[in-house]
Amino acid sequence: MKILINSFAKPLIMTLLFSLLTLLLQAAIPANPVSAASCANPVSYFGEMKASGNKINGSKTNRTMMVKGSSFFWSNWSGPFWNTATVNRMVDEFQVEIVRAAYGVDPSGNPYNTADESKVREVVNAAIAKGIYVIIDWHSHDAHNNVNAAKSFFSRMAQEYGSYDNVIFEIYNEPTQVSWGTIKSYAEQVIPAIRQRSDNLIIVGTPFWSQNVDQAANDPITSSGNIAYTLHFYAGSHFQSLRDKANYAMSKGIPLFVTEMGFVNADGDGGINYDSTNQWLDWMNQNNLSWANWAINDKAEGASIFNANGSLTSGGNYLKSILAGHAPYAEWRQNTACGGSSANTLYDFEGSTQGWTGSNISDGPWSVNEWSSKGSNSLKADINMSANSQHSLLLSQKRNLSGKTTLNATVKHVSWDSAGDGIYAKIYVKTGSNWVWNAGKVEKINSSGGTTLSINLASVPNLDDVREIGVQFLTSENSSGKSAVYVDNVTLQ
């Protein structure tokens, strides 16, 4: 049957159909659409690195930026790691934001193996594909002996990769007993080879294994812009005196980049110096200095993050926990369009301590599967109880919690020895340069199930400068012996 629509009804029906279509389209489009590229990865968020005074800014944010990651070992001695799979693992498992491709160069200033240039390309291409930064490093102690080799290499690299915001050029890894005048002369010859094709950040090594940054600060390179200077340290060998040199250099107006740092001794071996490393990490956080940890390798030495079978060394686990502690607070991840939400689980301790440490604990902390309030694991530490003793599990790391309202954690203790009238706990934050203490309500915790602690952040000052978060456990006056405490499911709203 044919339906006849008169000439008056047709315009009305078309108007209604158009209005309905418009409503459907509006429902399908977010009220405030955010481009996926604006937060998909650090490079799409920050853009190209730009030296500005003594800081490095993102070209897209025009604010000081900081990224954290890891360095490959010498290309000529760690070839099996120089591939896309390793880059992907470092991003997906370790949550690195930058890798460093250390192209091995011999004492004459020539690459140990020119075939390794293809390895450099594979690492750079993989980093670009993952949206992270990558340092192309002329990994030499004697680069000034062969300026032409460096010029030729960086000319090729700049031509191929100089248009990518991901790429940074490090033209001299670690000059040894070389004067700053010699290094500067070398740099002023190599830099133009890059500048003909790229305005990307260039990092220049400094005397004495890239430690004497003060000498570079007294006579900086002025022939080209977008230049930073290399600072290297190993926490087992380098302490406050080196930070003093770096502070002086920054006070003179030059930007620093920690392209190589280690938890162990300067020879790359030995055990992890946790106290010194934490001091360095705090200092780098305070000064927004980007860094790459040494090294992605399985050599039998303390600095390697992998064992020969591919499992993680103690250094690998420590690096992973540091980066896991940083990841939730990374500026580029803060937008909810990047996967954030109004209530985020910051620390679940699934498989690692995530950088947390302890104060006045007898052993630990560890990630354990004995108890958890969510998931499989929690953070545990042993404590020796005494009258009114205080014990803490904590993470010291500078962060911005502006706009957040509540910090929560679930805790418990075990029934060992005598807890007396019980064990109590409170969650806290320390803020500002004076590390001002702000704590939530003290709660008596139990040993049979978890107790949730909270702190209202609305009245906490300096939330844009939080220095530490943690849980403090307080024992009763009549307590004695040994116990263990747990923290799990640290969340932020």
Positions annotated as catalytic residues are: 174, 260
Q: What are phi and psi of 3, to 5 degrees?
A: -100, 130
DSSP 165-189: TTEEEE--S---S--HHHHHHHHHH
DSSP assigned state of 39: T
> Do the bridges between strand 390-399 and strand 466-475 make them parallel or antiparallel, or are there none, so unpaired?
antiparallel
CA atoms within 13 A on the CB side of 277: 21
Helix axes 117-130, 147-161, angle to 10 degrees: 30
Burial call 62-96: b when 16+ CB within 10 Å, e when fewer: eebbbbbbbbbbbbbebeebbeeebbebbbeebbb
Structure tokens at 127: 């980093």
> Which pairing describes strands 202-204 and 423-431: parallel, antiparallel, or unpaired?
unpaired
- Measure Cα distances from 178 to 112, 116, 146, 339 in Å: 21, 26, 14, 48
C-alpha to C-alpha distance for 56 and 70, rounded to whole angstroms: 19
For 110-151, give the DSSP string: SBS-GGGHHHHHHHHHHHHHHT-EEEEEEE-S-GGG-HHHHH
Q: What residues contact residue 53 under an 8 Å CB cut-off, 6+ apart?
A: 253, 255
Degrees to nearest 5, angle at CA 316 with 315 and 321? 95
| First-to-last C-alpha distance (Å) of the chain | 61
| DSSP class of 74 | -
Say which DSSP state 303 is in: T
- Those residues with Cβ within 8 angstroms of residue 433's Cβ, 6 or more apart along the chain or in another chain: 465
Q: Classify burial at 375, counting beta carbons within 10 Å of its beta carbon; exposed 0-12, middle 13-18, buried 19 or more.
A: middle
Separation of alpha carbons 205 and 208, rounded Å: 9
**What's the CA gap between 9 and 144, in Å, rounded?**
85
Q: What is the b/e burial string over 205-234, where b = at least 16 CB atoms within 10 angstroms of the residue's CB?
A: bbbbbbbbbbbbbeeebeeeebbbbbbbbb
**Residue written as tokens 């240039």?**
117
